[in-house]
Amino acid sequence: MPAPRNKLKAALKAGKLQTGLWLSLANSYSAELLGDAGFSWLLIDGEHSPNDLQTIMQQLQVLRFSESSVLVRPPIGETWIIKQLLDAGAQSLLIPMVETREQAEVLAKAVRYPPHGTRGVGAGGARASRFSYIADYTATADAEILLMVQVESMKAVEAIDEIATVDGVDCVFIGPADLSADMGFLGNPYAPEVTAVIEGAIKRILKHGKAVGIYMANPELAKHFINLGATFIAIGNDAGLLTQGSKQLRAIYE
The pLDDT of residue 5: 96
* 18 strand-pairing partners: 232
pTM to 2 decimal places: 0.96
The pLDDT of residue 183: 98
- Taking a C-beta distance cutoff of 8 angstroms, is the pair 19, 236 a contact? no
- Taking a C-beta distance cutoff of 8 angstroms, is the pair 235, 19 a contact? yes
Residue ranges of the domains in the chain? 7-252
Q: Does the structure show a pLDDT above 90 at 246?
A: yes
Residue-wise pLDDT tens digits, 82-113: 999 999 999 999 999 999 999 999 999 999 99
The pLDDT of residue 1: 85
What span, in angstroms and rounded, lies between the C-alpha atoms of 227 and 96? 25
Q: Is 97 left (phi over 0), alpha (psi -120 to 50) or beta?
A: left
Q: What is the homologous superfamily of the domain 7-252 according to CATH?
A: Phosphoenolpyruvate-binding domains (3.20.20.60)
Q: Does the structure show a pLDDT above 90 at 254?
A: no
**Per 3-state DSSP, what percentage of the chain is helix, strand, and coil (rounded to 5)?**
45, 15, 40
Catalytic amino acids? 48
Name the nearest CA neighbour of 98 among 31, 178, 27: 178
Residue-wise pLDDT tens digits, 128-184: 999 999 999 999 999 999 999 999 999 999 999 999 999 999 999 999 999 999 999
- Describe the crossing of helices 192-207 and 219-228 by its angle, rounded to 10 degrees: 30
Apex 105 CA angle, 183 and 96, nearest 5: 40
Average pLDDT of the segment spanning 222-237:
98
